[in-house]
Homo-oligomer: A and B are copies of this chain.
Amino acid sequence: MIRVAINGYGNLGRGVEQAITRNADMETVVVLTRRDPSSLTTLGAPVAHLEDMAAWEDKVDVCLNCGGSATDLAEQGPQAAAHFNTVDSFDTHARIPEYFAAVDAAARQADHLALISTGWDPGLFSMLRVLGESVLPDGATTTFWGPGVSQGHSDALRRIDGVLDARQYTLPVPQTVEAVKAGDDVELTTRSMHRRDCYVVAAPGADRSRIEREIVEMPNYFADYDTSVTFISAEQMRAEHGGIPHGGTVIRRGRTSEGVSANVTFELQLGSNPEFTGSVLVATGRAVARMAARGERGARTVFDLTLADLSPRTPEELRATYL
C-alpha cells in the first residue's frame, strides 16, 4: 500500500480523496489542513494541522499538495518537500523554472523526491505537447481549452456591481478547431480560437444592460473575445450550473514527407475539473513513491515519468496486455 497525505482540503483535496478510493494500491493516511482539524469531515482519514506535518514523516510515502492557489503552492511546495516526497499542480507557467529550483533545493536538502506541475494543464497536456512534437518535429501544436468553467473569469463577473452570482464557460470555436485539424490556413487569434459564455444572476432592480456592457468591454478578461451574456435566476444557476466541467484539445499537425501530413489529437472532456486533476495527482503520486523508493531525489516534472511507474500493473502485465 502506498500511504498518501492530502495537503489541503478544498475542491482539489477532495478530488484526490475520491480518486484514492478508486486505486486499490493506495490509501489516504492523513489530511493536512491550515484550518481547525475538527472542522473537516473526510471520507475516513484522520485530519491533522499543517503545523504537525513533521509527526507524519514516517507514516507517509507521498504527500499530494492541494493548495488552492499559486501563492499557496509557492510556499507549500518547498515546505512539504522538507518533510515528504511530494506532488503538486503548480500552474503559474512563467514562474515554473524558479519554483522548480526552490523545490529541487528543498527536496535534495531533505533527501526527498518532488514532482511539480502535474494535473491536466500543466500535466497531461504538457506530456502530449512534447510527445506530439517528438514524433512530428516538422509541424505546429495548437491547444484549445473548454468547453469548461473558468474560475478566474467567473470570479471577475461576480465582482461587478449588481451581480449576485455568475458562471463563465470558455468554449473553443468549432470551425477553428476543424481548420487546424484540416491544416487550413487559419489565423489563430484570441477571438478566432475561443468564445466566452456568461451566465449571470443579477440583483433585483440592477441595470442589466450596464452589467452586460461592463462584461463584454472588460479588458483582458472579455474584450478580446466574442462574449455572450445570459441572465438567469438563482434557481437556474443551482440546477444547471452546479458542476465544474472542463477540458480541451491539444492538436499536433506535422508533415512526414513532402505533401503528406499527420495529426495527433488529444482531447479531455471532464465532468469535474478538480476530480480529474486529483486523479492525475494520485497516479503521479504512485510514480513518485516508486521512484523515491528506487533512490531518486530532487525535483521532477511529468516529462521524467514512465508509464510503467504511473500504472499499478506489473511490467509483465503491461507487456502482455497493453502493448
Q: Which residues on A are within 8 Å of B, measured CB to CB? A: 15, 18-19, 22-23, 93, 96-97, 100, 117, 122, 124, 126-127, 129-131, 133-138, 181, 243, 255-257, 260-272, 275-276, 278-280, 283, 286, 301-308, 310-313, 315-316, 318-320, 322-323
Contact = CB atoms under 8 A, between A and B. Distances in A.
> Which 3 residue pairs of A and B lie closest in terms of their CB atoms, listed nearest first?
A256-B275, A260-B271, A122-B323
The copy count of this chain in the complex is: 2
Contact of A267 (B122, B136, B267): B267
B307 A323 contact: no
Given A136-B279, A262-B272, A262-B279, 17 more contacts: A23-B137, A124-B135, A126-B322, A127-B307, A130-B310, A137-B312, A256-B276, A257-B272, A264-B267, A265-B266, A265-B267, A265-B269, A302-B307, A303-B311, A303-B319, A304-B308, A304-B315
Contacts of A100: 319
Contacts of A93: 323
Contact of A256 (B96, B262, B264, B279): B279
Contact of A129 (B271, B315, B322): B322
B307 A303 contact: yes
Nearest to A270: B262
27 contacts: A18-B257, A19-B256, A22-B255, A22-B256, A117-B323, A122-B323, A127-B131, A127-B307, A130-B311, A134-B307, A134-B310, A134-B312, A135-B276, A135-B280, A135-B310, A137-B312, A256-B271, A256-B276, A257-B275, A262-B269, A262-B276, A263-B267, A265-B268, A303-B307, A303-B308, A304-B306, A304-B308
Contacts of A305: 306-307
B323 A126 contact: yes
Given A131-B124, A311-B133, A319-B97, A271 B262 contact: yes
Most buried by B among A265, A267, A269, A323: A323
A22 B269 contact: no
Contacts of A19: 256
B131 A307 contact: yes
Contacts of A265: 265-269
Contacts of A278: 256
A319 B96 CA distance: 7
A134 B311 contact: yes
A271 B301 CA distance: 33
A306 B308 contact: no
Contacts of A117: 323
Contacts of A15: 256-257
A299 B303 CA distance: 21
Contacts of A323: 93, 96, 117, 122, 126, 301-302
